[in-house]
Structure 1
């Protein structure tokens, strides 16, 4: 498994088109739709996730990002279109099935136990044991050593893996979750607004490890409403608006300014700017205004 420093940016960019041409996407959605009764949550949404690439899904609240995550993560099934994993059409019935197929989802409100140590949260639900019968017990030493080693492999140098995970910053907790997904064999990593509640410095830390997951060969889906964060690491961009696609681009096809303009609403924003413009003051008849 590669470390963050092992793959130069140029090499990653050069490898991306080859991966796209030679093998089917790790995950592909084609004209996928989802309805809740008469409510349209998604309609006609398409995206591709390739190994060693980051696909960014951008949209404001209510754009359909959460529904898209739930379909990829196995929480909900799509009603129309095609959902394929490594070229094979799929209809996931649970998050466990998604994990078994190599899709790990890290939600914004991380599922951690704050008072438990970092190593215990790293293995939560998948704890290794040693011994047999009445002597069977958790292999605490293995979990401590593995957690420390895997975090270092991702470039995360924690002072103490015995400290409660609740004492870590939001960015550090996100990074532990990313390292955990990589260790447990994820091929696709779905990140739900990982920088939404973070400051500039912590956001930069998280984006660094998102790039590290990409360089380790994973296909990453980065859900965000921040075009600046998306453009820093993204290879592909899908823009959602009210459950439909407002745009689909590769990094070579779009500049940050245009991505930001489309994300902000483009012509709608210009219209709003016009409506909010201060009306010119009425001219005064008969010369100079009185004070």
Structure 2
């Protein structure tokens, strides 16, 4: 049984559908996120997770349904509009510019300007970049190198640090552990735990590892075939239960394919 929506919901997705030509990526999606909650979103590749994130982040528009942010229905014009309403995202493709250095990517389209003379506050941005990376425990010795020269884990860390140090009320993490080694991944999970304990932001985190979700999140949603089929507090579920649901859906789909 899906969790009940409440007055403390900072975000609601109601009856959202999205099609790409003949392919239906999302069908009648209903999702809600409470203030200060960490929601884990699980699902196989192609289930619709990233499409849903892009809609919530203002990158794409739904074909049907609506988005409600802090009790107000919104229709995002673009990513900047969503960000102005307190929603920020770490995309799976990271949204970094390879030719720009670490500091420039950290403040991409968020540049700090000194006053009264409108000049870029380069020293302040550099200091804040170093502080943000140290906060999540990632060491990048040089901040003046193009990010194309960094490792996958370092690039992922920049994208995560940029988002979690923003003024967002809702943070979307689209597979934040991708390209990271075990040590770096553990640091990101520790950061999510810190944010969860502080309760100042709400988070939706896409992940493939059931254990990570059960350890780091308050509630879990499972998306299958473009629909959310499971919604339960992590304290009331288990890896075995999630595996059972996924296996049963695989068997159902296989029977349907054989019958067709």
Q: What does residue 106 of structure 2 align with?
A: 122
Asked whether 1:197 is paired with 2:179, we answer yes
Partner of 1:258 in structure 2? Answer: 241
The answer on whether the counterparts of 1:76 and 1:93 sit within 8 Å (CA) in structure 2 is no
Q: Please point out which of 148, 158, 167 is paired with 1:185.
A: 167
2:76 to 80, 92, 95: 92
Task: Give the Å deviation of 1:161.
Answer: 5.1
Distance 1:174 1:196 in 2: 8
Match of residue 110, structure 1, among 84, 94, 98: 94
Matches for 1:151-230 after TM superposition, within 5 Å: 151-152=133-134, 154-156=135-137, 158=139, 160=141, 162-164=143-145, 165-216=147-198, 217-230=200-213
Kindly indicate whether the alpha-carbon contact (under 8 Å) linking 2:11 and 2:70 is maintained by their aligned counterparts in 1.
yes
Query: What is the match of residue 278 of structure 1?
Result: none
Q: Is the 8 A contact 2:17 2:29 kept in 1?
A: yes
The structure 2 residue matched to 1:56, chosen from 31, 40, 43, is 40
Q: 1:148 touches 1:161 (CA, 8 Å); kept in 2?
A: no
Q: Distance in 2 between matches of 1:80 and 1:212?
A: 36
Per-residue deviation, 1:254: 0.9
- Return the alpha-carbon distance in structure 1 between the equivalents of residues 252 and 185 of structure 2: 29
The count of residues paired between Structure 1 and Structure 2 equals 249
Which TM-score applies when normalising by structure 1? 0.74
Q: CA deviation at 1:97?
A: 0.8
In structure 1, the residue matched to 2:258 is none
CA deviation after TM superposition for structure 1 residue 166, in Å? 4.1
Q: Which moved more, 1:238-247 or 1:177-186?
A: 177-186
1:228 is paired with a residue of what secondary structure?
A: helix
CA distance in 2, matches of 1:142, 1:250: 41
Could you tell me which runs of 5 or more consecutive residues in structure 1 were left unpaired when the two chains were aligned.
Answer: 1-19, 273-291
Tell which deviates more after alignment, 184-193 or 200-209: 200-209
Shift of 1:106: 0.8
Partner of 1:140: 122
1:150–1:194 CA distance, 2 compared to 1 (3 A): closer
Distance between the aligned counterparts of 1:97 and 1:120, measured in 2?
Answer: 21
